[in-house]
C-alpha cells in the first residue's frame, strides 16, 4: 500500500457537499433517473434502506426552509444535476425552490422503506413520463451508481430481493477491495507524505469554519454554536464583571463556559452542524460521505493549530492524520450504522490534536483508546438539528482524550472493549456498531416512525 494510494483514498473520501448527505444522495439518484428519462417525471417511486430513510426524516434541505425527503426528491427531479454529485442541489435558487414546491404538490413521490435492501446505504429511484420509464440505483456509497437491479420474479415488492445483471456488480467498492489500513500505517502516511499534496485538507477545514461563521449570523437549529461563540475583547469589556445571577435565572454562556479555546472549538464545530442540519446553503468538506464527519474531524484540529501558531506543515499533517483515521474506522463500521458518525469522527480530531500537542504514535493510541472507552455507545437516531449536541459531546471528549493521553493517562485492556492492540480496539468498536446494534437500529427507526 503506497502513499500515493492512500492520498488517492483521501481525495476520494474528503469531498465538498451541500446539505445532509442522505437526502442529498436521494436527490442525486432522482436527478440521474430524470436525466436517463430525458424529461421531467410525472411519477416517482423511491425505495430506501432503513438507514437512509432514518437520516432523511428530519433534516433541513438547503435553501428551502423545509425538512425531509419530499422536497429533496422534487428538487432532484427539477433542478438537480447528477454531475454535481454531493452538490447536486447547487442550482437550487429561490426561483427553482419555488417551482419545486409546486411540482411536489403536482407529482408527490411514493417513498418506500426496503427492509430487505442489499446494503445499509441503498437508494433506488424509478421515474416515468407517460409510457417512458427510467431508473437509477445507488449502493454502499453516496455517489456510487450501479447497474439498476432486475426485480426477482419471486419477489412481491420490487426491488426487494433484487438481482444484478450478469457481469454487473452491486458495488464499485466491492469490486475492488478497500486498502488494508492500520493505525500505524495511517500515522506513517501522515508523517511521510509531501505536505504540498495535502493543501486540499486545509482548504476543507477553512470551508467548514466558514460554514460555522454562517451560523453565528442568525438562528439555525438549536443555535448552540451561536450561543457559545467567542466574544471579542470589546464585547467582553462591555460585559458586567463579577455579576451574580439570581437563583433560577440563566447566566451568560461566557460566564458559565468561559471564553477559551475549548469553547471556541466546540462553538465552531457545532455551529457548522447547526447551519448544515437546518438547511443553510453552505458548502462543507465531507469525510466518508458525511458532512458532519468532515466538520468533526477538521474544525477542532484546524482551530487548535491556528490558535497555537502551529506551522503549515504540522497543521497539514494533523489534518491528514485526523481525516485518514476517520476513513480507517469507517471502513469496518460502514457508511451508515446505529453508532453516531459525528462521535466516531471526533476520534480523528483526538488523534490530530494529540499530535499538535506534541504527541507521538504512542500518545495517539492512548487518545483513541480514551475516546472508545468513553463514547462508544452514542446512538444515531437520524440526521437532525440535534446532531449539533452530539457533535459537542464528541469534540469535547476528543479534547479531554488528547489532554489525558499527553499525561499518559488512558483506558487500558482491563476496561470494557479496550485492548492493548489499538487496531483490535477499533475493530471492537466497529463490530458493535456494524454487527451488534442491528436490532437497536431497527428499534430506533420503529420509535422514530411511530411517534404519537
Given this model, what pLDDT does residue 105 score?
95
- Banded model confidence at residue 129, pLDDT cuts 50, 70, 90: very high
> CA 210, CA 261: separation in Å to the nearest integer?
17
Using alpha carbons, select from 431, 248, 421 the residue that is nearest to residue 334: 431
Quick one: cell of 340?
453516531
Given this model, what pLDDT does residue 337 score?
85
Q: Do the beta carbons of residue 242 and residue 209 sit within 8 Å?
A: no
**What does the pLDDT look like over 79-102, one tens digit per residue?**
999 999 999 999 999 999 999 999
% of residues, the chain, pLDDT over 90: 64
Lowest mean pLDDT among 38-52, 176-190, 210-224, 258-272: 176-190
- Give the residue, 358 or 60, on which the prediction is more confident: 358
- Banded model confidence at residue 154, pLDDT cuts 50, 70, 90: very low
In 77-116 the beta strands, taken as DSSP E runs, fall at 110-113
**What does the pLDDT look like over 181-206, one tens digit per residue?**
999 999 999 999 999 999 999 999 99
Whether 254 shows a pLDDT value over 90: the answer reads: no
Facing residues of 278 across strands? 60
Lowest mean pLDDT among 189-193, 241-245, 361-365: 241-245
DSSP 275-307: HHHBT---EEE-BTTBHHHHHHHHHHHHHHHHH
- Collect all residues with Cβ–Cβ distance below 8 Å to 249 and sequence separation of at least 6: none
State CA 259 to chain mean position distance. Answer: 28
Given this model, what pLDDT does residue 161 score?
38
Given this model, what pLDDT does residue 259 score?
86
Tally of CA atoms within 13 A in the half-sphere of 81 that contains its CB: 7
Q: What is the mean pLDDT of residues 119-130?
A: 94
Given this model, what pLDDT does residue 22 score?
92
Whether 74 shows a pLDDT value over 70: the answer reads: yes
**What does the pLDDT look like over 34-59, one tens digit per residue?**
999 999 999 999 999 999 998 888 88
CATH class of 21-175: alpha beta
Whether 415 shows a pLDDT value over 90: the answer reads: yes
Q: Which fold has domain 183-240+254-449?
A: 2-methylcitrate dehydratase PrpD (1.10.4100)
CATH 3.30.1330-classified regions of the chain: 21-175
> CA 373, CA 428: separation in Å to the nearest integer?
11
Tally of CA atoms within 13 A in the half-sphere of 330 that contains its CB: 30
- Three-class SS of residue 422? helix
Whether 160 shows a pLDDT value over 60: the answer reads: no
Q: What is the DSSP letter of 150?
A: B
Quick one: cell of 277?
442540519
Strands 16-18 and 66-67: unpaired
Q: Is the dihedral of CA 346, 338, 54, 15 positive or negative?
A: positive
Lowest mean pLDDT among 25-29, 204-208, 251-255, 260-264: 251-255
Whether 249 shows a pLDDT value over 60: the answer reads: no
Neighbours of 389 (CB within 10 A): 16
Q: What is the mean pLDDT of residues 354-366?
A: 98
pTM of the model: 0.86
Neighbours of 16 (CB within 10 A): 19
Q: Is the dihedral of CA 263, 265, 270, 272 positive or negative?
A: positive
Given this model, what pLDDT does residue 221 score?
87
Q: Do the beta carbons of residue 301 and residue 411 sit within 8 Å?
A: no
> CA 177, CA 175: separation in Å to the nearest integer?
6
Q: Do the beta carbons of residue 53 and residue 88 sit within 8 Å?
A: no
Whether 237 shows a pLDDT value over 70: the answer reads: no
> CA 352, CA 187: separation in Å to the nearest integer?
10
Given this model, what pLDDT does residue 342 score?
83
Q: What is the mean pLDDT of residues 217-235?
A: 79
> CA 162, CA 62: separation in Å to the nearest integer?
33
- Banded model confidence at residue 142, pLDDT cuts 50, 70, 90: very high
CATH 1.10.4100-classified regions of the chain: 183-240+254-449
Given this model, what pLDDT does residue 233 score?
53
Whether 163 shows a pLDDT value over 70: the answer reads: no
Using alpha carbons, select from 306, 281, 272, 283 the residue that is nearest to residue 202: 306
Phi, psi of 47 (to 5 degrees): -110, 130
Given this model, what pLDDT does residue 175 score?
38
> CA 33, CA 186: separation in Å to the nearest integer?
38
Lowest mean pLDDT among 10-24, 96-110, 224-238: 224-238
Q: Do the beta carbons of residue 168 and residue 302 sit within 8 Å?
A: no
Using alpha carbons, select from 222, 230, 215 the residue that is nearest to residue 271: 215
Given this model, what pLDDT does residue 164 score?
35
Amino acid at each position: 500500500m503506497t502513499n500515493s494510494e492512500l492520498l488517492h483514498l483521501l481525495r476520494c473520501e474528503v469531498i465538498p457537499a451541500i446539505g445532509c448527505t442522505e437526502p442529498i444522495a436521494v436527490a442525486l439518484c432522482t436527478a440521474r433517473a430524470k436525466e436517463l428519462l430525458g424529461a421531467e417525471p410525472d411519477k416517482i417511486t423511491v425505495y430506501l434502506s432503513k438507514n437512509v430513510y432514518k437520516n432523511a426524516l428530519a433534516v433541513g434541505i438547503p435553501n428551502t426552509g423545509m425538512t425531509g425527503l419530499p422536497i429533496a426528491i422534487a428538487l432532484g427531479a427539477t433542478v438537480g444535476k447528477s454531475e454535481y454529485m454531493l452538490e447536486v442541489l447547487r442550482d437550487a435558487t429561490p426561483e427553482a425552490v419555488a417551482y419545486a414546491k409546486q411540482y411536489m404538490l403536482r407529482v408527490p413521490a411514493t417513498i418506500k422503506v426496503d427492509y430487505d435492501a442489499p446494503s445499509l446505504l441503498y437508494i433506488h429511484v424509478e421515474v416515468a413520463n407517460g409510457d417512458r420509464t427510467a431508473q437509477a440505483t445507488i449502493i454502499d456509497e453516496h455517489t456510487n451508481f450501479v447497474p439498476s437491479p432486475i426485480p426477482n420474479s419471486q419477489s412481491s415488492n420490487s426491488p426487494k430481493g433484487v438481482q444484478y445483471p450478469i457481469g454487473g456488480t452491486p458495488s464499485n467498492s466491492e469490486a475492488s477491495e478497500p486498502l488494508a489500513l492500520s493505525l500505524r500505517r495511517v500515522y506513517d502516511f501522515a508523517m511521510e507524505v509531501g505536505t504540498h499534496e495535502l493543501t486540499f485538507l486545509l482548504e476543507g477545514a477553512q470551508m467548514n469554519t466558514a460554514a460555522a461563521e454562517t451560523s453565528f449570523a442568525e438562528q439555525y437549529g438549536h443555535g448552540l454554536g451561536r450561543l457559545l461563540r467567542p466574544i471579542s475583547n470589546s464585547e467582553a469589556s462591555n460585559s458586567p464583571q463579577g455579576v451574580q445571577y439570581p437563583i433560577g435565572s440563566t447566566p451568560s454562556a461566557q460566564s458559565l463556559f468561559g471564553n477559551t479555546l475549548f469553547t471556541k472549538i466546540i462553538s465552531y464545530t457545532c455551529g457548522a452542524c447547526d447551519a448544515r442540519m437546518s438547511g443553510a446553503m453552505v458548502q462543507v468538506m465531507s469525510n466518508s460521505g458525511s458532512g458532519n464527519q468532515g466538520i468533526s474531524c477538521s474544525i477542532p484540529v484546524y482551530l487548535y493549530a491556528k490558535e497555537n501558531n502551529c506551522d503549515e506543515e504540522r497543521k497539514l499533517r494533523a489534518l491528514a492524520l485526523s481525516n485518514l483515521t476517520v476513513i480507517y474506522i469507517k471502513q469496518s463500521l460502514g457508511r451508515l450504522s446505529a453508532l453516531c458518525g459525528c462521535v466516531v469522527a471526533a476520534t480523528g480530531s483526538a488523534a490530530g490534536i494529540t499530535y499538535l500537542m506534541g504527541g507521538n504514535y504512542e500518545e495517539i493510541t492512548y487518545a483513541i483508546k480514551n475516546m472508545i472507552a468513553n463514547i462508544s455507545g452514542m446512538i444515531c437516531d437520524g440526521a437532525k438539528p440535534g446532531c449539533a449536541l452530539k457533535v459537542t459531546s464528541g469534540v469535547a471528549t476528543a479534547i479531554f482524550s488528547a489532554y489525558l493521553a499527553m499525561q499518559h493517562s488512558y483506558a487500558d485492556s482491563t476496561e470494557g472493549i479496550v485492548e492493548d492492540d489499538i487496531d483490535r480496539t477499533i475493530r471492537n468498536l466497529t463490530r458493535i456498531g456494524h454487527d451488534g446494534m442491528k436490532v437497536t437500529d431497527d428499534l430506533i427507526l420503529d420509535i422514530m416512525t411511530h411517534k404519537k
